[in-house]
Amino acid sequence: MPRGTDLTKFGEMRMVAEYVQRTYPQGMVFMRLRLGVMEPDVGPRALSPEEMAMLGVFRRWADAVVVTQDELIVVEGSIRSDSGDPSKLVLYGRLVPKTPELTPFLNRRLVLELVVAVEDPAVTALAQEMGIRVRVYPPPWLPEYLAQLHRRERRPIQARGLLPGQTTEG
């Protein structure tokens, strides 16, 4: 298994692939789908086909997009909850209607879904407040994966008073 940042990306993409396969077995799945328009923001300059193809590489990408009978689901996966993931999903949701590959599916209900293996309750609460569906999916290989990380990376960050009903008094 890779180490360092490669380990993180490898683990997240493996987790997302397993999750969508198990959760949406009948769905049409796009892994690492680039989102947004292909046209550059620099004005109406004529570009060659090669230049246009290169522009697609600079689009943001979702870990997975799943098309079901009723839903168009944008999935962001994270081994450990990250406070930036909900905002990424909101941005991806804004890009979905501008994504040519998704045009045939825009009649479905858009769902933003955060999938995590190690949950941070504060991030979950924030995501749910933003209308994001949160799923906790600890894959069977998670203990082995976590054992390769630094000790402080094996546990979720503590909420430290961010959850409803928590007080800062001892």
Over 50: is that where the pLDDT of 163 sits?
Answer: yes
Average pLDDT over residues 16-34: 96
Structure tokens at 135: 């799923």
pLDDT band with cut points at 50, 70 and 90 for residue 6? low
Query: Distance between CA atoms of 157 and 113, rounded to whole angstroms?
Result: 20
| Model pTM score | 0.78
Sequence spans of domains, the chain: 4-35+51-153
Spatial CA neighbour of 88 closest among 105, 100, 74, 101: 74
Could you please state the CATH topology (level 3) that the domain comprising 4-35+51-153 is classified under. Answer: Trna Endonuclease; Chain: A, domain 1 (3.40.1350)
Q: What pLDDT is attached to residue 148? A: 80
Over 70: is that where the pLDDT of 67 sits?
Answer: yes
Q: List strand residue ranges (DSSP E) for 46-129, in order.
A: 60-67, 71-80, 109-118
